[in-house]
Amino acid sequence: MPDGVMKTSEPQGQILVVDADEGAVSSLSGHLQRSGFDVLTASCGKDALTAVEQLPVDLLLLSTTLPDMKIADLLQALRQQFPMTELPIIVNAAANQTAEILSALHCGANDCIDGRANLEILLARIQTNVILKRTTEALQATNKSLTRMQRKLDHDLQAAARIQKNQMPSEDLEIDGWEVAWHAAPCDTLGGDSLNVIRLDDENWAMFVLDVSGHGVPASLLAVSVTRILTPGRDGSGRHDTLLPPRPLGDVRGNQDSGSVASAVYVLERLQEKFIPEEDSVQYFTIVYATLNTRTGEMRIASGGHPSPILMRAGEQPQLFTDPDGPAIGLIPLELDIHFHEAELQLAPGDTLLLYSDGVIEAFNPDQVLFGPDKLKRSLQFHAAHSLPQVVRGIHTELESWRASKPQKDDETLLAIRRME
């Protein structure tokens, strides 16, 4: 403890009384202690500066006269180290000391009051300032804790986003005789959309786009879970928890046929069995799933409540391919026995198929007009002469221009495949 500073009791708040008048110090200390405060005392400005540097002080009660320095100089020195919220200072000045009061307030005092004439008001002001200081300290501590928690949460979200991104197709994915391109833009750090292109065997591939209801972590977790069980592995190897069987199955109702690829309907029916509606959750997802024989160009498509793909035949206008239809997964109870339907499609050289999530066609411009499927078809046709990656980038650029200043409200996902001529 610094020389000249005396500690006298246990605190509800710790007050430093700075005054060279021993009688005034004794009187004020007694009143403060009876009010529940701990009291430190200092008889000069130097001891006061030492005390606040070495001891926890909740408030400084300062006389207008000190033997070693002017009050203004002491206040300025204190304020260089401690802001008003961190160290409240009340100057104990008589009402007629107008110049001293104005100087003290100008140099950083929180308040000035004549404690000799208004002791009860002085004690009330001290109590109020101590409460404000401690409340501020508690808020600052809470903010620091929240900041640490937010940093950790951001770190965890970024890690989860990397996991989600790693489930997407490889950027350098190549299918002999075919172009494949995709773009995924979540509206937040984590998205509820997902897509993949999966090699099943030497000439058969599967692809899908799915969209989980809602946003944020719950939607992302479900999207990751579904993507995982639909993806046997990047090298085409099997995995125990995948819905794709080791020997593919497949007619349109999921009956076994050991010589064919798992039908799109088979996969959606297995998803429907796995993700049944729950009473305490209204989370579901839409999906469009397709299989492709890259040698023949034959494609089978099934949809679970998902927007219709867009088919653009070589040299023709793009059209919505509306044949496949079915319920969203996790929304309809199994006992209703609502079935999925599978459509067959033959892709010829130059034909393009575009899969997408509803965030694309439901994007609004500043005039509250939807981007819509018609504009998406026009955008596809406008960029059709370019490579497929350029086509997808072009559509995405148009989508951003369409939104202009409006924030992105939903995940936006595009997946396109084109048979090379």
Give the CATH number, domain containing residue 194: 3.60.40.10
Is pLDDT larger for residue 303 or for residue 246?
Answer: 303
* Residue 92 in domain: yes
Is the same domain home to 183 and 235?
yes
Check pLDDT > 50 for residue 3. no
pLDDT, position 364: 93
pLDDT in tens, 31-72: 999 999 999 999 999 999 999 999 999 999 999 889 999 999
96, 121, 139: which is the final residue of a domain? Answer: 139
Is the same domain home to 79 and 133?
yes
Is the same domain home to 185 and 290?
yes
Is the same domain home to 126 and 177?
no
Q: Which domain holds residue 60?
A: 6-139
Report how far apart, in Å, the C-alpha atoms of 278 and of each of 257, 327, 336 are. Answer: 33, 16, 15
Is the same domain home to 184 and 301?
yes
Number of domains in the chain: 2
- Please give the average per-residue pLDDT across 62-83, as a whole number: 93
pLDDT in tens, 134-144: 999 999 999 99
pLDDT in tens, 304-355: 999 999 999 999 999 999 877 889 999 888 778 788 999 999 999 999 999 9
Is the same domain home to 241 and 379?
yes
Is pLDDT larger for residue 334 or for residue 202?
Answer: 202
- Please give the average per-residue pLDDT across 391-420, as a whole number: 93
* Residue 161 in domain: no
* pLDDT tier, 250 (very low <50, low <70, confident <90, very high otherwise): very low
What CATH number has the domain bearing residue 118?
3.40.50.2300
Q: What whole-number distance in Å separates Cα of residue 257 and Cα of residue 277?
A: 30
- Please give the average per-residue pLDDT across 67-80, as a whole number: 94
Q: Taking Cα atoms as reference points, which of 246, 221, 220 lies closest to residue 233?
A: 246
Q: What whole-number distance in Å separates Cα of residue 254 and Cα of residue 289?
A: 14
Q: What is the dihedral of CA 324, 328, 334, 335, to 10 degrees?
A: -80
* Residue 155 in domain: no
Q: Taking Cα atoms as reference points, which of 227, 249, 251, 223 lies closest to residue 239?
A: 227
Is the same domain home to 245 and 297?
yes
Is the same domain home to 97 and 193?
no
**Percent of the residues in the chain that have a pLDDT greater than 70, as a whole number:** 90
